[in-house]
Amino acid sequence: MKKRGDYKKLIARQVAMDLVDLIYTLTKKYPKEEQFGLTSQIRRAASSIALNIAEWNWRNSNKDYSHFLNIAFTSTLEVESAAIISLRQWYLVEQELRQIEEFVDRIKKLIYGLDNSLH
């Protein structure tokens, strides 16, 4: 299998890692009863973004990589939805939701740019 390059240098992956850090920080204050529910869900979704962007390093074709970028993109939607649920349940405040949304919007644009560069 051919290695393409250093996925750690991709800006999309770096921003996604920053989102993971933010999500972990914010969810530390979620109620214990959410540990295996919303806390786990939003953390897994945020991690999925960075993990699927990293797939670039070992994909044999642009089509394969585009598939993983699509998964990363849909994970941004999952993070966004989970954050809105968190706000509605009073686990987050508006400012925290806006922080998450800013990261998600930036990541979406970066993923879109990456995917367009493959075609």
Residue span of the structural domain in which 55 resides: 7-117
Q: Which of 98, 112, 85 is nearest to 11 (CA)?
A: 112
What is residue 73's three-state secondary structure?
helix
In a domain? residue 58: yes
Predicted local confidence at residue 55, as pLDDT? 80
> Is 111 within 8 Å of 67 (Cβ atoms)?
no
Predicted local confidence at residue 115, as pLDDT? 87
The total number of structural domains that make up the chain: 1
Q: Which residue is associated with the tokens 């070992």?
A: 58
DSSP per-residue codes, 90-115? TSS-HHHHHHHHHHHHHHHHHHHHHH
> Is 55 within 8 Å of 87 (Cβ atoms)?
no
pTM of the predicted model as reported, rounded to 2 decimal places: 0.91
Residues in the chain: 119
**pLDDT by position in tens, the chain (length 119):** 445 566 777 899 999 999 999 999 999 999 999 999 999 999 999 999 999 998 866 666 778 888 999 999 999 999 999 999 999 999 999 999 999 999 999 999 999 998 888 77
In a domain? residue 2: no
In a domain? residue 1: no
In a domain? residue 64: yes
Q: How many CB atoms lie within 10 A of CB 71?
A: 14
In a domain? residue 36: yes
CATH code where residue 84 lies: 1.20.1440.60
